[in-house]
Structure formats: structure tokens, C-alpha cells
A and B are shown apart, each in its own frame.
Chain A
Amino acid sequence: MMTSTSLVYLIALPLAGSAILLLAGRRSDKWGHLLATALSASSFFVGLYQLSLMVGRTNSDRPVTQKLFEWISVGTFKIDASLMLDQLSICFVLLITGVGTLIHIYSISYMSHDPDRRRFFAFLNLFIAAMLLLVLGDSYLNLYVGWEGVGLASYLLIGFWNQKPAYATASKKAFVMNRIGDMGLSFAIMIAFATMGTVSFSGVKEAAGHTSTAALTGIGIMLLVAATGKSAQFPLQAWLGDAMAGPTPVSALIHAATMVTAGVYLITRSNFIFDAAPTAQLLVVIVGAITLMFGALIGTAKDDIKKALAASTMSQIGYMILGAGLGPVGYAFAIMHLLTHGFFKAGMFLGAGSVMHGMNDEVNMRKYGALRKFMPITFATFGLGYLAILGVPPFAGFYSKDMIIETAFNSGGAKGIILGCVTLLGAGITAFYMTRVMILTFTGKSRWDEEAHPHESPWLMWLPMAILAIGSVTSGYLLSHGDTLVNWLSPLFVNHGERAELLSPVVVSGLALAMVAIGVAIAFVKYSRNEVAAVAPTDVSIFTTIARQDLLQDRFNEAVFMQPGQALTAVLVKTDEAVIDGAVRGVGRIALGSGSALRGIQTGFVRSYAALILIGAVALIAAIWVVTQ
């Protein structure tokens, strides 16, 4: 494999940025954000440069590596700190640095009033660095470092306003649930090392051939667990909604465009394992399917614009995971949807941020309405994103999502039918709740509080939105035109022969559009025709109630994990004091007690002492008698 000397800069630049900003402290308040943005941008250009190099080479030579130094080496457990950039990771690099830079720019203005803006940018840079490490690491362990690094960054950013207890809790929740996922990843690594003796991607890829399906399935499932944690997939999805506590740019970058898609990357990257472990692969699909419905349903009931978008993110990632679970044919489409989603979802989040910016941080959509007139640019960009996520041709989503739906149908047998229907239904619901968001926010009558003075955001904010909007219009076409992306990625995946088509693309697109139309229609009927209450109505169906409570996910976790856990802790704390330490103290008390008891012998009367001696003598005689008999 070709080696490069410049990969490290991708990571080093933003890392240096965060280090400088954190160490320099308040001194760098003036210029910190600019430096951070510049570094992120420069990292993006390094990425472009790498891309240009890569395009120039033939398929087989495209991946490049750079060994920095020997990180851990004990016995056969040898891990180099080395990076690998191939067709897959370059996509991520560009997404991360590109969208990342835009969001840096956006934040300069968005956070301008926050006293801690410098810290915010430091964390953003830290995130970029960690995320790049995640996608550039050449072994599962290196990936793991980035994996937890982004977790840390996300923790810091969700809790950026941690003086609000609720936010602090949200960040803790996110970290802990991610840790559960990370545990899965470490299991995967352990199994891999124990069975294959290596944990580097290339090594595992080779070894996978002669490793038992059982082991591979184990690894696969554990990787899936990791993915569910990081990508907020069922059953570890609960943290994403609360993660919206972070500043909106964060939600856009981390919890929409990049970090949450790491799971998809992991699964795609580990294609050689999943291809060889059908069971694991099936589980991936199931998780994806469940989550996409789960998210969609939650999305229908949320009045908080960010939470609604978060729910949709969850659901969209469900699509990607599902796609990735469909095997060789699916990987490319999963990635494609990931990229397009990166554009339109980030765009919409920034839009939401812009709206909040104008509505002094109001997030309840029931308090919006008729904002179309007041923030046209926001409306436009958001609208484009809306069309993209719906999958209306020729917008981005149309290409990426339909591909997944189509592949789902064509994955064969009942499985195919079911998955197909689920994805279709999901598309419908998506259309419904996104339309709902549009209507509640931008159309209809205004339902704001008095003090709200909605206004368009400054150019520093709408420019990134605009760029992303362009992306969400064009990216789909560009990537899929002539199967650009598919061919680009194909060398990474073992190609199986084409499957028999159940439905032709045209039919699928037709169905999908139909579903979308239905969804939109319902939404119109429900929210545009009749008046929307400024406060959420309480006389709603049980389903709505449940959906509003995120399908009871938190209640479930509390009942099943938290409360028993806390009970156990309380009990153990008591037993440690009472039983274990008690036993020790007991021994002491026994000694003391027997001591004072034996004191009784010392009566103070000479005669009793003499008696003791006499008894002793008699005892000796008795002993002798016994001996001599």
C-alpha cells in the first residue's frame, strides 16, 4: 500500500487548534474562533489535496497509509499509531472537514454573544480531530481512540451550558450510553485479537477468511452494539433527543451530519466481517428497520423543532444502517445516503438554529408560524433541505433513499418484502412529520410571544446554510450519476453477482413518491386546514402521548436499569459497612470480649490463685496418668 506523509496534518491541525485555545485560555478570546475556523478549513483543503492525489491513481493504489510510531507492542499485540486513507475514509474526511468548517463559520456569529465562545470552538476543533482519527485509524484500536474521542467531544459540547442541571444530565446520559456501545467495540476487539491475533483492518480482512463463522458473528454483533451506541440506534437511541441540549451548531455537526453516522462507517468498514456473518448482518438490518420506524414515530409528535429533527436523524440513520445491513450492494447506498443526509440535515439544523436565533431561542414550534415572511433565506434553505429529505426528485434524498428502498425490496424473499414495506412506510411518515415541521414553523398564522421579534440571521449564518442547501440539491445527482460513488467505493467491497430484481427502480420510485404524497397530504389536512394550538393539546390519543414521551424509552431505561442499579448501589454501600467491615470489627470485639471475660479469673483472692495452681497440677497429673496408661 502506498504511504503518505501528509495524512497526519488532517488530524494535527484541528488538534493543535483545540490545544492552543484551551491552554491559551481567555487570552485567545479575541482570535480563538478565527484560528479554529482557519485550521478546520485548512484541514479540509488537505483533504481535497488528498482527494486530488487519490483520483489521480488507479483503483488499487488509491489507499495510502502513514505510520507515525509504534503505539502499543506487547507480545503479539502490536498496534502502530498509523493512519489509512482510502476511498471510504476520504468521503468522511471531506464531509467532516467540509460541513465542519461551514459550521465553524456559522458558529462565529451564532455564538458571538456567548462569553465562552472560545471554549466552544476549542471543543469543535477537538471533535473534528477525533472524528478524523476515527475514520483514518488503520486498526480497530486506533478507531477506538477516535470513537471515544468524539464521545468526549460530544459530551463536552452537549454539556456546553452545563450550568443548567438538565443539560449536564443530558451530557452525562449521552456519555454513559455511548460507553455501553464502546464496551461492545472493545469486546469486538478482544474477540478479534483472541481469534485472529490482529486488530488492524487489513489483518482482520485477511484472517476473516479462515475464521469460524461463530467468531465472526460474535465480532459482528459486538460491532453492531458499538454502532447502536454511537449512532443512536435501537436499543441505545435514548440519548440523542436529550443531546439537543447542546448549541444548535453542535446538533447540526455532531448529532446530524457526522458523529452519529460513525456507526454506519464502522459497519461499512467491517464489511468483510458482516459479509461472512449472515446472522450479524440480519441483526443489523433489523436494528436499522426498527430504528427508522422508531425515530419516525417520535418525530410525528415532537413540538420542539430540534427534537423533531433529532428524531428524523435517528430514523434516517436507521435507513443507512439498514442499507449497510443489506450487504455489498447496500454499503455504497448507505454511504451515499449518509453523505446527502449530511448536507440536508445539517442544513435544516442550521435553519432551525437560525429560526431560534430570530425567536430568542424559542424551540417550541407551536410558538412559531408564518416565519416565511420574516426569514426568507432560512425558509428557502430549510425548504430545500425539506424537499431533499422527502426524496422529491431531483433533490439529494431522492437518489440516496430510493436506492436503499429499492435494495431493501430486492434483498430477496420475505425479508425483502418486509424491509421494503418498512422503508416505504418510513418514507411516508418522514414526509408527514417534516411537512408538519415546515407548516408549523413557516406557514400559517404567527403564534409567537409578544417579545419575539423574528428577523433574518446575519450572512455569516445564512451563507453556510445556503452552501449546504446547494449540497442538498445537487449532491444526490452528482454522487449517483453514472454510479460515481458506487464505482468509487467498489474496490473495498467484495462484489457478489447482481440479485434478481423484485421491483424495477421506476416502480420503487413511484411507490416512494406515492407514500410521500400521502404523508404530505395528511400533514396538510391536519395542520394547515385547521388552527394549531399554541400549547400542545392534552386530549390526544394514547399513541400521541406515548410518541411524545419518545415511545417511553426513558421510562423503560429507568425502570429496568437505573432504579435497580441505584437500589443495588444503596444495598451494597450498606452491606459493605455492615457486613464486611462489620465482620472485621466483630473479630475485634470478640477478642476484646474474651479478654474482659478472662479477666474474671483474676479475682484478687490468693486462695483462688492457689486453686488455679492446684488445678494446673492436677491437670498435669491427669495428663501423666493418661500418658502412662
Chain B
Amino acid sequence: MNWLTLLMVLPLIGSVALAVLPKENEKLVKQVALASTLVVMGATIAMAVGFQRDNIELQFVEKYAWIPSFGINYALGVDGLALVLILMSTILAPVVVLAGWNESQGGRWSVKTFYILILVLETMMIGVFAATDVFLFYVIFEAMLIPVYFLIGGYGSGERSAAAVKFLIYSLFGGLMMLASIIALYVMSGAQGGHTFDLAALSQLQMSSMTQNLLFLGFFIAFAIKAPLWPLHTWLPDAAESATPGTSVLLLGVLDKVGTFGMIRYCLTLFPDASKTFTPVILVLAVISIIYGAILAIGQRDLKRLIAFTSISHFGFITLGIFAMTSQGYSGAALYMFNHGFSTAALFLVGGWMISRRGSSTISDFGGLQRITPVMAWMFFLAGMSSLALPGMSSFVSEFLVLVGTFTRYPVHAVIATFGIVLAALYILIPVQKALHGPTTPGNENLSDLNLREKIAIAPVMAIIIVLGFYPAPLLNVINPAATHVIAQLGFSDPAPTSGGK
């Protein structure tokens, strides 16, 4: 049974169904959208159940010729990492639909269009993680931009079109860098036994270290833009500020993961040596992102921008973990990707509710919410705690794994990165104090607290955050084999205890 194709087709069916529905009946449109995302989620979980943990091979593999004359296949398959990310995406989708029930109103186009875009995007989100053919990956990687572009530009707020363009140009530029590398790979594969885009085959290519470095950069720049790594991050705050909360969740929670996912799946696998060559630089960039993002977050006045910058900091952690080349770092990073998806979702959704109620996203416009809207305030607080990786929250496990894993090989980087956790306390508690504590500022005396729909939407997110905080094993068991596999392939093994040189 072609699970992955099924997963990709289901949302498309949903979007087609939406297309035929009448524009006017918005309620029905939303219900259908929600239903289809739920179906996809169910299917994904059903698939995940059948996943064999300890098998490091790709699973649920599918392969059909697509453009034979270029040796391009429609090839899908998942390892532990991809599976986890697909799970995350498909769980987040219904949450976003439910949480952003009304955010599609007041857009340039109809509610219907909004959800069609969302569903198309979901298909691509699944495909981009499942693709095992580099060309297919690239196609989806680029095509994904279009729906997001319209989601931001069409339904966002403020300088939405400018932000959308910035996002698109940035990403396209990165994408073209990657295209150049892909072309080079393709040509080389032709020279070395037949044109192909099969990831496994390409990873066997022989190439001079010079070439490898250049091609690596081509890929890495694209991914460093996606998962905003300092200094390629400036599109993210604008995009997040303008996009609707739901879009932001998909953008930061899922799409940006493609960047870090790509670093693992493509940079490390295709260019092991180059990866090692560039590791020092990348680690520094990662550490800078952690600290820089955190400090900038502290300095923000706008709630959405603040969240965006916290994400930049978090992506720094993920990158750090990936390139630490230890099983703890890798598993930590992988788990981090998953957790970040949910803690960012929590922050953005609750933040979004606060903003839509108050009609402003300036932090200082809030105040004393804890007295007026206790539940909403609590949810925001919990989301914040998860974002600053409080023990007991899932994000703690991943963050600590990253730090420990990094420390064993790159102590200095780890130590600097750890300062991020103090800054995290600041960038969360400052908005918490301004928005939730203190006397009620005029203008939000009679904001309404979360309604049932919103509670239902946020509950699973919180549940996941907390449950995984105490019991991350289910995910770790899936990730670990992949982790050890990749690390081993790169010729690394976890450093043995040094006994401090005694």
C-alpha cells in the first residue's frame, strides 16, 4: 500500500472538494477543510504505527519513473526523522485549521481559497519530507513557496505583500543556489554511470573536495535561508509579523524545518567531507544565531516579531545539534525540530488570539490579562515556559540533549550556547510580565477568554508538549537508530568519557 502517496493525495482530494463547494457557505468550507486535515492526521498515525523502529533502511518506499530521459523518479520513503516531521506536520494542520477558524476572513480572497491553499501546502509538506529523489525534493521545495506566498500576501496583515515578496525572493535565491548544485550533481552522475537523482546513488559520487565544497554551499545556503541562520534571517520576522498566526505556525513550525531537515538529509549525506570542512563555520553561525536571536527577541516590541526571533534562536540550537556530530546532538536536534513545531504553534496561536482580541500586536498594549482572561494567559505562559525549555516540557529534553551532545565534542560552543537559556528566561518573562501581569491597561478590560473551540485546538498541543517532556521515549526510539546510522556513516562516534584527561 502506498502510504506516502495516499497521505499526499488526501489533502488534494480535500482541496478539490473545497473547490467545488459554494464560496458563500464558509462554515461548510471550514468543516470540510478540518475534516480532511483530520483524516490525513489519522492516516499518518496509522502509518506511523506500522513503522519498524530498529530498521535503519528507508521505509514505505515507493518509486515510479517520472522523467526517464533525465533519470528522474517519483521516489518516496521515510526514515525515523522524516516520519517524525511528517507526523508533526499532519498533527499541526488540523490544529491550525481549528485554531485559525476565523483568520481566513478579511483576506484578499475568499475563505475557500485560504483553505485550498492550506491543503495544497499540506500535500507539499508531506512530500518534501518524504521525497528521496533530489529532483522531486527540489521541485516541491520550490513549489511550496507559492501557496505560502499567497497565504502571507493574501491573508496577512500590515505590510503583508512586501513581507511576502521578501520571503519569496529570499527563498528563490536560495533555491537557485541549490539548483546550480543539483545540476552539477546530475551532470556528474551522468559522467559516473548514468544520470540519476536517486539520493543514495548520488551520495556515492566521486568528486574533488573543491567541487564538493562548492556544491555543499549551494545546498547549505538554501537551507540556511529556510531555517533562518544568522545572517540570512531577516525575512523571517517580517513574514511572521505579517502572516496570520496559522500561516506563521506552518511557516516556522513546518516549512523552516525543511531547512534543518535538508541539512541532515542532503548536506550531510551528499557531501560528508564538505560538511566536516564547514562544520567549524556553521557551528559559529549556529551559536551566533542562538545568542543573537535571543537578544533581538528581548528587544522586540511586537509580539509576533518577538516569537519569530525566538525561533531564530531555536533554529540555532537545532543546527548546533546537527553539526555536533554526536548521537545526542543529532537526536536532540531531531527531537527539537518536532518540539519546536509545537511550542511555536502554541505561542503563535495563543499570541494570535490575544492579538485578534486586542486588535494590536504591540506587547505594551496588553497588560493584566491574567486577571481578565485567565485561561488564555495560562496558555500563553505555558507556551512561553515550553519555549524557554523548562524541565518537564518536551523542549527541555531536546535542548539539553543538543547541549550535552555538543559539549562532548565542542565544549566552548556548548558553553556559549548555554547562555541562551538565561536570555530565553528574559525574552519570555518580559512579554509575560508586560502582557499578563501588572494592572489592567485601558482597552482590554473586557477581552473575552478562550472559547471552547480554541480550548480544543490548544489542548492537544499542550498535552504533547507536557507528555513528551516526561516521556519522550516514543519519539527518541524512532529517531535514535537513524541518528546512530547517520553519525556512523559520517565516520563519527560519540566521544568516550575523558575522565578529564586523567
Q: Do A and B come from one complex?
A: yes
Given the interface pairs A190-B414, A214-B501, the reply to whether A76 lies near B494 with Cβ below 8 Å is: yes
Q: Which of B307-346 contact A (CB under 8 A)?
A: 326-328, 331-332
Question: Which one, A77, A159, A180, A216, contacts B404 given CB within 8 A?
Answer: A77
Are B473 and A73 in contact (CB-based, < 8 A)? yes
Q: Which of B107-150 contact A (CB under 8 A)?
A: none
Instruction: Tell whether B400 is near chain A: CB-to-CB under 8 Å.
Output: yes
Are B484 and A211 in contact (CB-based, < 8 A)? no
Are A69 and B331 in contact (CB-based, < 8 A)? no
Contacts of A75 in B (CB 8 A): 326-328, 331, 480, 483-484, 494
Q: Which of A129-153 contact B (CB under 8 A)?
A: 141, 144-145, 147-149, 152
Are B295 and A195 in contact (CB-based, < 8 A)? no
Given the interface pairs A573-B296, A576-B234, A576-B296, the reply to whether A186 lies near B400 with Cβ below 8 Å is: yes
Question: Which one, A149, A182, A194, A581, contacts B392 given CB within 8 A?
Answer: A149
Chain A 192-224 near chain B by CB (<8 Å), digits 1 or 0? 011111100000000100111111101000000
Given the interface pairs A75-B326, A195-B500, the reply to whether A176 lies near B425 with Cβ below 8 Å is: yes
Instruction: Tell whether B411 is near chain A: CB-to-CB under 8 Å.
Output: yes
Are B397 and A72 in contact (CB-based, < 8 A)? yes
Given the interface pairs A148-B390, A572-B299, the reply to whether A210 lies near B499 with Cβ below 8 Å is: yes
Cβ of A558 to closest chain B Cβ, rounded Å: 15
Are B426 and A162 in contact (CB-based, < 8 A)? no
Contacts of B397 in A (CB 8 A): 72
Instruction: Tell whether A545 is near chain B: CB-to-CB under 8 Å.
Output: no
Q: Which of A81, A141, A570 has the most CB of B within 10 A?
A: A141
Residue of B nearest to A165 (CB): B438
Contacts of A572 in B (CB 8 A): 292, 295-296, 299
Instruction: Tell whether A584 is near chain B: CB-to-CB under 8 Å.
Output: yes
Q: Which of B409-462 contact A (CB under 8 A)?
A: 411, 414-415, 418-419, 421-422, 425-426, 429-430, 433, 436-440
Are A145 and B391 in contact (CB-based, < 8 A)? yes
Instruction: Tell whether B1 is near chain A: CB-to-CB under 8 Å.
Output: no
Are A182 and B471 in contact (CB-based, < 8 A)? no
Are B391 and A194 in contact (CB-based, < 8 A)? no
Contacts of A409 in B (CB 8 A): none
Cβ of B284 to closest chain A Cβ, rounded Å: 16
Are A187 and B415 in contact (CB-based, < 8 A)? yes
Contacts of A622 in B (CB 8 A): none
Question: Which one, A165, A189, A212, contacts B502 given CB within 8 A?
Answer: A212
Cβ of A583 to closest chain B Cβ, rounded Å: 8
Are B437 and A162 in contact (CB-based, < 8 A)? yes
Cβ of A431 to closest chain B Cβ, rounded Å: 38
In the complex, which range does the number of interface residues on chain B fall in?
Answer: 35 or more
What separation, in Å, do the CA atoms of A141 and B397 have in the docked complex?
A: 10
Contacts of A569 in B (CB 8 A): 295-296, 298-299
Q: Which of A145, A162, A211 has the most CB of B within 10 A?
A: A162
Interface of B is mostly: helix
Instruction: Tell whether A71 is near chain B: CB-to-CB under 8 Å.
Output: yes
Contacts of B438 in A (CB 8 A): 162-165, 168
What separation, in Å, do the CA atoms of A213 and B501 have in the docked complex?
A: 10
Interface size of A by CB at 8 A reads 63
Residue of A nearest to B501 (CB): A212
What separation, in Å, do the CA atoms of A69 and B474 have in the docked complex?
A: 12
Q: Which of A570-625 contact B (CB under 8 A)?
A: 570, 572-573, 576, 580-581, 584, 588
Are A194 and B495 in contact (CB-based, < 8 A)? yes
Are A163 and B437 in contact (CB-based, < 8 A)? yes
Question: Which one, B370, B473, B496, contacts A197 given CB within 8 A?
Answer: B496
Instruction: Tell whether B470 is near chain A: CB-to-CB under 8 Å.
Output: yes
Residue of A nearest to B401 (CB): A74
Instruction: Tell whether A418 is near chain B: CB-to-CB under 8 Å.
Output: no
What separation, in Å, do the CA atoms of A152 and B392 have in the docked complex?
A: 11
Question: Which one, B296, B331, B370, B404, contacts A190 given CB within 8 A?
Answer: B404
Contacts of A190 in B (CB 8 A): 403-404, 407-408, 411, 414, 418
What separation, in Å, do the CA atoms of A189 and B403 have in the docked complex?
A: 10
Cβ of A143 to closest chain B Cβ, rounded Å: 10
Q: Which of A206-255 contact B (CB under 8 A)?
A: 207, 210-216, 218
Given the interface pairs A74-B476, A145-B392, the reply to whether A194 lies near B295 with Cβ below 8 Å is: no
Chain A 270-281 near chain B by CB (<8 Å), digits 1 or 0? 000000000000
Are B499 and A180 in contact (CB-based, < 8 A)? no
Residue of A nearest to B407 (CB): A190
Contacts of B478 in A (CB 8 A): none
Contacts of A215 in B (CB 8 A): 498-502
Residue of A nearest to B230 (CB): A580
Chain B 335-362 near chain A by CB (<8 Å), digits 1 or 0? 0000000000000000000000000000
Instruction: Tell whether A16 is near chain B: CB-to-CB under 8 Å.
Output: no
Contacts of B439 in A (CB 8 A): 163, 165
Cβ of B487 to closest chain A Cβ, rounded Å: 9
What separation, in Å, do the CA atoms of A211 and B499 have in the docked complex?
A: 5
Are A568 and B295 in contact (CB-based, < 8 A)? yes
**Across the A-B interface, the 4 shortest Cβ-Cβ residue pairs:** A215-B500, A197-B497, A212-B502, A212-B500
Query: Can you sample 13 A-B contacts with CB below 8 Å?
Result: A71-B470, A73-B476, A75-B331, A145-B392, A149-B392, A190-B407, A195-B497, A195-B498, A197-B497, A212-B501, A214-B500, A215-B501, A569-B298
Interface residues of B (CB under 8 A from A): 169-170, 231, 233-234, 292, 295-296, 298-300, 326-328, 331-332, 368, 370-371, 374, 378, 385, 390-392, 396-397, 400-401, 403-405, 407-408, 411, 414-415, 418-419, 421-422, 425-426, 429-430, 433, 436-440, 470-473, 476, 480, 483-484, 494-502
Known: A176-B425, A211-B499. 5 other contacts (CB 8 A): A74-B327, A144-B391, A148-B390, A159-B437, A580-B231
